[in-house]
Chains A and B, each alone.
Chain A
Amino acid sequence: MSKVEVRLTVNGAEYVRSVEPRYLLVDFLRRELGLTGTHIGCEQGVCGACTVLLDGQTARSCLHFAVQVSGSEITTIEGVSAEASLSPIQDAFHRNHALQCGYCTPGFVLTTVELLRQNPSPDETEIRRGLTNNVCRCTGYVNIIKAVAEAARSMPTGEG
């Protein structure tokens, strides 16, 4: 199958690769760039494990072809915090035991980045609503909801 050029800025670095037009964004990130923190849970847009920020907004990388988003800016879990440190959101997840197997976690963290950017001090219902597009099978969400609330409290307004 013929290949097309895809140009993406991922976590601040620019990448150019030739891939098949049908190549999914999630495969581009994982297989071409080696950014395996973005996970695949359903390939149908249901579970949110593949959530990334696409030009600043959450997007399901399993639902986009890489070529469709060529020219965009992407943030993956690898770009959320500097090497070997935790962002306030990640730290809140850590302190509240908001992850078990961790498979869903990158998606939840990126969803929380957007949630708190849009609403820096959400109440519990707003947090729950903000998280409904991500599925976690391990935690029962209880500690994720607590972690998001704590992250909101600990973050100066507007910080990602």
Chain B
Amino acid sequence: MAVPDRPGDDSWKIVGRSIPRREDAWLLTGQGCYIDDVPEPSNTLHLGFVLSSEAHARIVLIDAEEALALPGVIDVLTGEDIARLTRPIHTGFLLEGHRDTTRDAVAREKVRFVGEAVAVVVAENPYVAEDGVERVLVTYDPLPAAVALESAAGDDAPLVHEELGTNVVLESTFATEGLDEAFADATRIIKETFRTGRIAGVPMEPRGCLATTGRAGEELTMWTATQIPNIVKTALAKLLGHPESGIRVITPDVGGGFGTKAHFYPEELVCPALALKYGRPVKWIQDRREELLTNIHAREHIYTVEVGIDGDGAIVAMRCNMMANAGAYSSYPFGATLESVGGVRFILGPYHIRNYGYETRAVASHTCPAGAYRGTAQPTAMLAIEGMMDRIAREIGIDPAEARRRNLIKPEQLPYTTAVGTHYRTGSYSESLERALEMIGYEEFRTSQPPDRLVDGKYRGIGICCYTENSGMGVAAVRARGWSVLPGFDGALVRVASDGKVKAFISHAACGQGYHTSFAQIVADQLAVPFEDVSIVVGDTGLTPEGTNTFASRGTVTGGGAAVRACLVVAEKMKRIAAHVLEVSADDIVIENGVAMVQGVPDMRMTVREIAEVAYSLTSHVMPEGDDYGLEATDHYDAGMPTISNAVHVATVAIEPADGTVEVERYVVVHDCGRVINPMIVDGQIHGGAVQALGEVLMEELVYDDAGQLQNATLLEYSLPTALDVPMIDIEHIQSITDENPGGFKGLGEGGVIGGVPALTNAIADALAGIGANVNTNPLKPSRIAELIDAALESR
């Protein structure tokens, strides 16, 4: 890039450009270093966990004799043994109505879901660890299990945690004043219940960790495939009773997270505890069966929504009753609140709904714990509200797009505060809807759609989703949700080395988002240095400042915000140094593309490298009065309450009447995440999310039988979308810049799935509306669609 001659020429800026990613260089050539690739010392011990085969049972006997007799098996430990080395996992929640549960890293006395660890085998290599696991004989005394959501909430359900006296682990209610009166004024009332099936993130890389100790146990280093290294570090200090200053948590390259890796898991406690016990490195790598049985599940929800509308179809009042299956234990750090509280608060979406009330419950069951999966409750909450929009349209005989128009928050209503108190600063709700409809040719589609929706022998339908996405939660937001073990802020340390090259250390952890590229774009622009001169460090608590890490679309807002602020401090110092050397006022200095120059006198210039040499005392120049040596700054940025992105997805589908198979024919997205840093990366996030939505709607479901056995804990039986299933996706961006954070950014990591689930579901519902089928239960596997078609045709 050429150095601009004229100050004010910002063609060198690269935020907003589709720069191909830096990380590709190592990931494409096999040089990536994922958790199982981290070099393991030759004396490493390998763990294998013995998993409960029962959903609910008393542990009668653990017989490890045969396992211990195997050459290469060093030890077999039970829950009692592990409990002597660790404290139970407990989130210590601060939310009213939340009944926190504690979890032993390895079960003692009782097991509460199939897959819960009951013993751990320590061996010289992973093959022997597996042999050992097979030879540990556990005798259980089985107890009745509470599995499905509604039955687990029942009065006579077997209790998951007896001491609570109930399986309802969270209850929360809310209502705006005058809600009943508002309902009484409604012209009509529409009510529907939506059910969604249990699924999981299923990243292609399962989890794993490697813990090593040094300096006689004083120093503990843990590599772990996580999105939340700082949260893991603080948890380890507390649960191991080890000084936090002696713990370093490193995330290597991580093969996908999607929220599932934003939890602290028992194995992450057992590995370091045993590394400290034996004084040897301890490693554990999860296999796919364990991944499906024990990594956080999500989305087993029931929403009953009631809307009161006026004669035009505008919502005048709304009630939502929600239940979420929380599984056997509170997840760490989110407790059981993530989905149940999120769902009823996110459901308002981009709509103007003044009168609103909710009742929500999280219900414990003898199943895998539930928690964060991309979008958390937003995909199901939007499914419910968007399902209601379609029902409003049907009820009063208007087009579904028109029902949305009549309810969207209008541009002149911004900034807007929702009935539950969420602030929407900027957004493009109507504009993005109109543009998306135009892109897909909505009017033409509707005009040519026959009443029975049959075109060329297939039921064809179109579905819309207008949504908002919560992103970038700061301190106030995590406190409001009761998350006591999440700090809420994030940090960035930006350091210019003596050669003028820049390294930014940011308290996030990458699992595919492209941070090495997009954060570098931010820093390069802020410091006005070439992109090539900037490198990024994430995922290492030994190097980055403290922070809250990567989940809930926080990365660009909180990490980017901290980076911008730290860069401002560094840039000011660079200007002061340049001004001092060039003997002008700092106000007269501008920096562009790695060069500081005097405004109006472009020949008076210094490169960033020359400035850095002054800062590190490598020249005869002295520092300006009052400035310390060095050229770096650390910032801890608190983004406060969430920043709200928005988008519209519209999809068309064709359903084969004979077998209920669905083909997604067209898919368009109009997306607004404020200032776009790298459009190509943003589009990739949308593609990935939308296709996860396709899986969620059409094929994915974790099926438990009544006894609590997971029926499909393999990728053969848990289907994921393949290249044959997916549509091409057309995306346009609108950029409603916000002043809520230093970069004007809004988060976007989850939007694809949030918009995709309702758009695809509504497209199917629309295709089947002609024959009178009511679609209110996901997933919509071919067999289920075929049943819906048969039933609808029969009842005609």
Residues of A whose CB lies within 8 Å of any CB of B are 20, 22-23, 30, 35-44, 46-47, 49, 76-78, 80-81, 86, 90, 93-95, 97, 99-106, 109, 127-129, 131-132, 134-145
Contact = CB atoms under 8 A, between A and B. Distances in A.
Contacts of A141: 687, 691, 721-723, 726
A40 B255 contact: no
B729 interface: yes
A136 to B, nearest CB: 7
Interface stretch (B24-32, B94-102, B483-491): B24-32
A116 B345 CA distance: 50
B24 A94 contact: yes
B728 A104 contact: no
Nearest to A91: B28
A102 to B, nearest CB: 3
Nearest to A148: B723
Contacts of A36: 30, 33-34, 36-37
A100 B31 contact: no
Q: Could you say which interface size class chain B belongs to? A: 35 or more
Contact of B29 (A86, A100, A136, A138): A86
Interface stretch (B414-422, B427-435, B510-518, B758-766): B510-518
Contacts of A140: 687-692, 721, 726, 729, 752
Contacts of A132: 722-724
B284 interface: no
Nearest to B511: A101
Interface string B427-457: 0000000000000000000000000000000
A73 B11 CA distance: 51
A143 B256 CA distance: 17
A100 to B, nearest CB: 4
A138 B36 contact: no
Contact of B28 (A93, A137, A138): A93
Contact of B723 (A30, A41, A105, A128): A128
A104 B34 CA distance: 12
Contacts of A46: 714-716
A135 B691 CA distance: 12
A47 B28 contact: no
B28 A99 contact: yes
Interface in B277-326: 287-288
A143 B201 CA distance: 21
Contacts of B254: 101
B199 interface: no
Contact of A137 (B27, B258, B513, B714): B258
A97 B20 contact: yes
Of B30, B255, B257, B714, which is in contact with the most chain A CB atoms at under 10 Å from its CB?
B30
Nearest to A82: B29
Interface stretch (B202-210, B233-241, B395-403): B202-210
A136 B204 contact: yes
In the A-B complex, the 5 residue pairs with the closest CB atoms: A37-B30, A102-B27, A103-B255, A140-B691, A101-B512
Q: Is the interface of B mostly helix, strand, loop or mixed?
A: loop
11 contacts: A22-B127, A37-B29, A39-B255, A41-B288, A44-B288, A95-B20, A97-B20, A103-B256, A105-B28, A106-B30, A135-B720
Given A43-B287, A47-B715, A102-B23, A129 B724 contact: yes
B256 A137 contact: yes
Q: Is the interface of A mostly helix, strand, loop or mixed?
A: loop
Given A127-B723, A138-B256, A138-B512, 18 more contacts: A41-B288, A81-B29, A97-B20, A100-B512, A100-B514, A101-B205, A101-B253, A101-B257, A102-B32, A105-B27, A131-B723, A136-B204, A139-B691, A141-B687, A141-B691, A142-B729, A144-B723, A145-B728
A46 B729 CA distance: 26
A142 B28 contact: no
Of A78, A99, A143, A144, which is in contact with the most chain B CB atoms at under 10 Å from its CB?
A99
B336 interface: no
Given A30-B36, A36-B36, A77-B29, A138 B714 contact: no
A76 B30 CA distance: 8
Nearest to B125: A31
Contact of A103 (B205, B716, B752): B205
B77 interface: no
B319 to A, nearest CB: 35
Of A35, A77, A95, A97, which is in contact with the most chain B CB atoms at under 10 Å from its CB?
A97
Contact of A142 (B21, B681, B728): B728
Nearest to B687: A140
A41 B205 contact: yes
Interface string B247-269: 00000011111100000000000
Contacts of B204: 39, 41, 47, 49, 101, 103-104, 135-138
Contacts of A35: 30
B680 interface: yes
Contacts of B542: none
A148 to B, nearest CB: 9
